[in-house]
A and B are shown apart, each in its own frame.
Chain A
Amino acid sequence: MASDEGLTEECTRLIPLAEIDPRDERFRITTRRDSDDLLISIGRLGLQAEPLMLPGASGFVIVSGFRRIAACRGLGWDSIRAQVLHKASPYGCALKAIAANSLERPLNLIEISRALRLLDQYAPGGQAPPEDTAALGLPTHAGMAARLKTLCRLPAEVQDAVLEEAVSFAMACEIGRMEERLALAFARLFRELKTSLNKQREIVTLVAEIARREGIDPMGVLSEERLSRLLEAQDLDRNQKTQRIRKLLRQRRFPALVAAEDNFHSRRQRLALGENLQLAPPRDFEGTRFTLTLNFESMEEVGRLREKLDELVDHPDFKTLLTGKGRGFEETQVP
């Protein structure tokens, strides 16, 4: 690993917990704040791996072992055995802090982000050698690393959404470019809906485009009353909420298209086609050819379909479906 390694000396010492500064988290990688699992194992088996400490002006700075130290405090211990680093550069400490996590377990996205930022923060020249990054098992692709580094600077609530996997990496990067209150609003929405990336993207795009179209703040779109009511509806599950919110937004973004779709569906419903006959319009009503699908398995069924087709030809709604596009198949249209 880094050339810095040779300058670091370690010795094991008994350190009073009172001399460890719990607020100094400069080397913290882990996102976990709980230590209940460690409290049980350390309480029963003792401290199996010693935390790493750096002597500081106002006590010891934790390099690795944040959760272990918290567990020891929870157990009411006065002191612990720890490895104390001497002559260690900040960059050397950063390498050790990251290695203690990344070489032991898979890091989550926020931890990777913190690790990459920590390296940059302390690396001589402001950028860690790619060899160090690779040795720590961190991504080395410059573009990917740059995007990852933004994650740990996001508002805490957005980071929580990432950790819960309610917001994917791609979406986190997208909402990370927004102003904070909007990013938070989206994070809250997606934590509630727990929906797929594609649907999240659709929602973000719809909100942004409605705002541009109507000349309003995107927050105004997200805090619209009907949307809020849907989010709070007790009788809807997450999928139903997602579906209705998407429909609501689409209706606002494409009012004429959605109205025509609704009119088309109403008229088609009135045709009472039955399950063996399907009528599909051209995509987005742009083309001129409709598709009629007939399902049958006997001559009797074919006969019934023929009768239904004869009925259709004279049906005013059918005529409007074929000729009423110019007026969006409006219900008020004279058939």
Chain B
Amino acid sequence: MRITALYIDAQVADWPETRSICSRFDVPAKTVANADDVYADVAAAPDPVGRGKQVLYLTRNKGAFIRQCPGTRHYTCCGYKILHVGTFCTMDCAYCILQSYFHPPVLQYFLNHADLNVELEQLFATGTTHRLGTGEFTDSLIWEPWTGLSAGLIRKFADQDCCVLELKTKTTFIDTLLYLPHRRRTILSWSLNTERVIGSEERGTASLDARLKAASRCAAQGYPLAFHFDPIVIDEGCEEEYRRTVAHLFSVIDPRHIVWISLGALRFMPDLKGVVQRRFPQSKIAYGEFITGLDGKMRYFKPLRMKSYRAIAQAIGSHAPDVCLYFCMEDDEVWQDALGFRPAECGGLSRMLDDAAVRQCGLNAGGNRR
């Protein structure tokens, strides 16, 4: 979606990067004392979620840049850390939880990178293995056309040996990253879905083929890769389509480049259903067989999830038996059923993924483990 309004927090108005970003837009910029004017602009629109994707607010992150991924005790969390560089997204996926996560949702980009660097230095100084990613509250690479965010982070992570950065995207904005000295400390990862789901539910995103070709170019430059089949949309015949998607993935990507692959079926807070019905009246994703999960989120009926996971895991296993495959927010019953083991048998999910990062990204194997 095109940016049609640009707001600048007065506190960052004179910063060089602010001016640099503004120069890339041909829309008038408005300097504001705080976010109230931005929120008012977005909230007044007939479709605040859609408007929030067109309004860019350049500001400071007034809270922590590094945050723990919000898991719940009922399902197994991977212990990921979120690098909170910005919020929301210019693409428009029907199922996107960010539509109902922020009130109101606004495209924000945080410019106080000196604070971000301080937090990173402190984390690196612990010598503990950590996996961090910028793709939780936003898409990691939507900022590439306007900022040098990812390049800066890739260089920063290349200078240390205990942490790995994951840039998760549905775009193909990789040209600015290809020839950076990354030292394999940055994993470039793509959310994957079937062509049908991408076509019907992921408005404004790159096609499956384009994503895989972009991944292939990154792999050629030595970047480790990851893929996330998340959200898996379960409906009649979906298993066969996911099998085809898996086959497509491995027809383009050598499994040896892959650090991990995650699987996660569509899940969302109940509020999102109304948003999807309103904003995507043609979408059928809200009408799956959902029940209320133990964490209060709507989840597909468990036997359906298990069936889809078995099929996809089997397909991945047939192409890449050694790849680190994991579930995002599922319980031991699901792990055992689809993969034949529970994370605890490998020291826990965090350990599994840390080990994969050490192995594939050359992290300091003697580093402290959590």
Contacts and interface: CB of A to CB of B under 8 A. Distances in A.
Contacts of A326: 303, 306-307, 310, 333, 337
Nearest to A325: B303
Contacts of A77: none
Contacts of A328: 303
B303 A255 contact: no
Contacts of A215: 284
Given A212-B284, A326-B337, A257 B289 contact: yes
Given A286-B293, A325-B333, A212 B301 contact: no
Interface residues of B, number: 21
Contacts of A253: 289
Contacts of B286: 212
Contacts of B304: 256
Contacts of A86: none
10 interchain residue pairs of minimum CB distance: A284-B291, A213-B287, A326-B306, A326-B337, A328-B303, A257-B301, A209-B287, A212-B287, A254-B289, A288-B333
A287 B291 CA distance: 11
Nearest to A212: B287
B302 interface: yes
Given A256-B304, A257-B289, 14 more contacts: A212-B284, A212-B287, A215-B284, A284-B292, A284-B302, A286-B291, A286-B292, A286-B302, A288-B333, A325-B333, A326-B310, A326-B337, A327-B303, A327-B307
B45 interface: no
A286 B331 CA distance: 10
Contact of A285 (B74, B287, B302): B302
B145 to A, nearest CB: 36
B282 to A, nearest CB: 9
A256 B287 contact: no
A283 B301 CA distance: 11
Nearest to B310: A326
Interface SS, A side: helix
Interface of B: 74, 284, 286-287, 289, 291-294, 299, 301-304, 306-307, 310, 331-333, 337
B236 to A, nearest CB: 10
A69 interface: no
A253 B332 CA distance: 28
A305 to B, nearest CB: 28
17 contacts: A212-B287, A215-B284, A254-B289, A254-B301, A256-B303, A257-B289, A283-B291, A284-B301, A285-B291, A285-B301, A286-B294, A288-B331, A288-B332, A325-B302, A325-B333, A326-B306, A327-B307
Nearest to B299: A286
Nearest to A211: B287
B323 to A, nearest CB: 22
Given A212-B284, A257-B289, A326-B337, A285 B294 contact: no
Contacts of B294: 286-287
A257 B300 CA distance: 10
Nearest to A213: B287
A13 to B, nearest CB: 56
Interface string A278-294: 00000111111000000
Nearest to A257: B301
A109 interface: no
Contacts of A287: 74, 294
A260 interface: yes
Interface in A267-315: 283-288
Contacts of A327: 303, 307
Contacts of B306: 325-326
Contacts of B289: 253-257
Nearest to A329: B303
Most buried by A among B286, B287, B302, B307: B302
B345 to A, nearest CB: 17
A178 B302 CA distance: 34
A251 to B, nearest CB: 11
A283 B295 CA distance: 13
A36 to B, nearest CB: 49
Contacts of A209: 287
Contacts of B291: 257, 283-286
Contacts of A325: 302-303, 306, 333, 337
